[in-house]
């Protein structure tokens, strides 16, 4: 298994495209200044040693070396020994609503982003429990099967948006139904389903589905994201000032349906928690989850990892050597030698 020990270092990779943009801007400014002195053809004859492509290639090599140095600093490792461990915990599946109504801005920055923040903080508090992730709108889709790989679960959150599901709407029932089949088949395992949504379900009967889940030993918690007074739903394709309208041309107002979420939680023998702009309600949620009896979970994990950062450092050094050999200007003694096909 491959992993980065210091995965947070990878954020520095965002600097690379920024540096390249700065380089392109400086090149453009340099060309404008040169144009003030005369025509390009005349200047080229006056300065025969100046090379156009070489600085660009050298800059790209610099940035490529920087990429490998950042990857090396993140400590890439490869798992070499698989070990079976027994831990006490429960299985938790998070069902996240990704319908268009979750883009409403009554919870800042919007309902979906606030929900993703809540999930990230939830994962940070898990120790021995196993987690899975389901997204749903008009239908539910499994995204992460039951696992104890918390890092992967958090990384996946960044890519979640309403666009990842083909069918819009809000079907909490389908999320509960999919969750029931997504838990492991172990009969003695305690399970919890956490549904994060604004509660506007106009599709099926989620309360009845929650009752069916409770009979299978699945405890259901609901987190309501939004405000009861509601908010318009922005249309991303038309800008922030454009909102969804109904067939009569009226702006659609999406409201938090607390009554529905309370009924679902009650039927699922769990608890309803309301998130708002100041709190996510995670303390109350985990206080209740901690009361659930932990069962022994057998997992297979890599217990030994081998550092392989030295290979990334070697590649970075090789690139820097090539960059050093590639001169910025033409060398009259070596002008007939073409490195990478570049002799200009």
> 261-276 pLDDT, tens per residue?
999 999 999 999 988 7
Mean pLDDT over 170-180 rounds to 94
Name which residue leads in pLDDT, 300 or 197: 197
> 110-149 pLDDT, tens per residue?
999 988 988 888 888 888 888 999 999 989 999 999 988 8
Nearest to 1 by CA among 68, 84, 71, 77: 77
Q: What is the pLDDT of residue 334?
A: 45
Name which residue leads in pLDDT, 39 or 258: 258
| Peptide linkage before 87 cis (omega within 30 of 0) | no
Q: Identify the sign of the CA torsion 173, 175, 177, 180.
A: negative
> 76-97 pLDDT, tens per residue?
988 666 556 566 788 999 999 9
* Lowest mean pLDDT, pick from 28-42, 167-181, 325-339: 325-339
> 1-41 pLDDT, tens per residue?
788 888 889 999 999 999 999 988 887 786 676 666 555 55
For residue 228, list its beta bridge partners: none
Token pair of 169 as six digits: 């709407």
Mean pLDDT over 177-206 rounds to 86
In CATH terms, is domain 91-293 a member of 3.40.50.410? Answer: yes
Mean pLDDT over 340-344 rounds to 50
Instruction: Specify the pTM.
Output: 0.64
Q: Round to whole Å and give the CA distance between 196 and 265.
A: 12
Q: What is the pLDDT of residue 266?
A: 96
Q: What is the pLDDT of residue 141?
A: 95
Task: Characterize 86-113 residue by residue with b for buried, 16 or more Cβ atoms within 10 angstroms of its Cβ, and e for exposed.
Answer: ebebbbbbbbbbbbbbbbbebbeebbbb
Q: What is the pLDDT of residue 327?
A: 65
Q: Cβ-count burial of 58 within 10 angstroms (0-12 exposed, 13-18 middle, 19+ buried)?
A: middle
CA dihedral of 105, 109, 112, 118, whole degrees rounded to 10? -130
Domain boundaries, the chain: 2-78+306-325, 91-293
Instruction: Report the chain's mean pLDDT, rounded to a whole number.
Output: 82
Mean pLDDT over 326-341 rounds to 53
Report residue 148 CA to chain centroid gap: 17
Nearest to 213 by CA among 145, 286, 133, 267: 267
The percent of residues in the chain predicted with pLDDT above 90, rounded, is 35
The percent of residues in the chain predicted with pLDDT above 70, rounded, is 80
> 194-245 pLDDT, tens per residue?
999 988 766 678 999 999 999 999 999 999 988 888 889 888 666 556 888 8
For the chain, the farthest-separated pair of C-alpha atoms sits apart, in whole angstroms, at 87
Given a contact cutoff of 8 angstroms between Cβ atoms, the answer to whether 194 and 92 are in contact is yes
């Amino acid at each position: 298994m491959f992993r980065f020990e210091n995965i947070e270092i990878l954020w520095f990779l965002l600097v690379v495209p920024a540096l390249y943009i700065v380089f392109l801007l400086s090149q453009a400014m340099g060309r404008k200044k040169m144009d003030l002195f005369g025509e390009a053809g005349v200047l080229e004859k006056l300065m025969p040693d100046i090379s156009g492509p070489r600085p660009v290639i050298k800059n790209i090599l610099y940035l490529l070396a920087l990429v490998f140095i950042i990857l090396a600093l993140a400590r890439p490792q490869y798992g070499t020994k698989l070990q079976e461990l027994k831990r006490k915990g429960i299985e938790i599946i998070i069902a996240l609503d990704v319908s268009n109504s979750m883009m409403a801005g009554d919870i800042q920055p919007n309902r979906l982003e606030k929900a993703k923040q809540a999930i990230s903080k939830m994962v940070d508090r898990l120790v021995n429990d196993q987690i899975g992730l389901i997204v749903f709108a008009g239908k539910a889709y499994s995204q992460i099967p039951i696992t104890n790989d918390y890092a992967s679960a958090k990384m996946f959150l960044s890519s979640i948006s309403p666009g990842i599901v083909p069918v819009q709407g809000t079907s909490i029932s389908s999320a509960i139904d999919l969750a029931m089949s997504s838990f492991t088949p172990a009969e003695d395992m305690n399970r919890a389903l956490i549904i994060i949504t604004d509660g506007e379900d106009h599709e099926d009967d989620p309360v009845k589905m929650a009752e069916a889940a409770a009979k299978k030993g699945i405890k259901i918690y609901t987190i309501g994201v939004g405000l009861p007074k509601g908010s318009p739903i922005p249309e991303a394709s038309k800008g922030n000032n454009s909102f969804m309208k109904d067939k009569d041309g009226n702006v659609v107002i999406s409201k938090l349906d607390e009554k529905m979420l309370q009924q679902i939680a009650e039927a699922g023998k769990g608890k309803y928690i309301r998130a708002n702009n100041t709190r996510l309600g995670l303390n109350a949620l985990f206080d209740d989850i901690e009361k659930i009896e932990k069962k022994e979970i057998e997992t297979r994990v890599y217990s030994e990892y081998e550092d392989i950062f030295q290979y990334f450092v070697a590649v970075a050094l090789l690139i820097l050597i090539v960059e050093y050999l590639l001169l910025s200007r033409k060398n009259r003694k070596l002008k007939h030698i073409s490195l990478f096909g570049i002799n200009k």
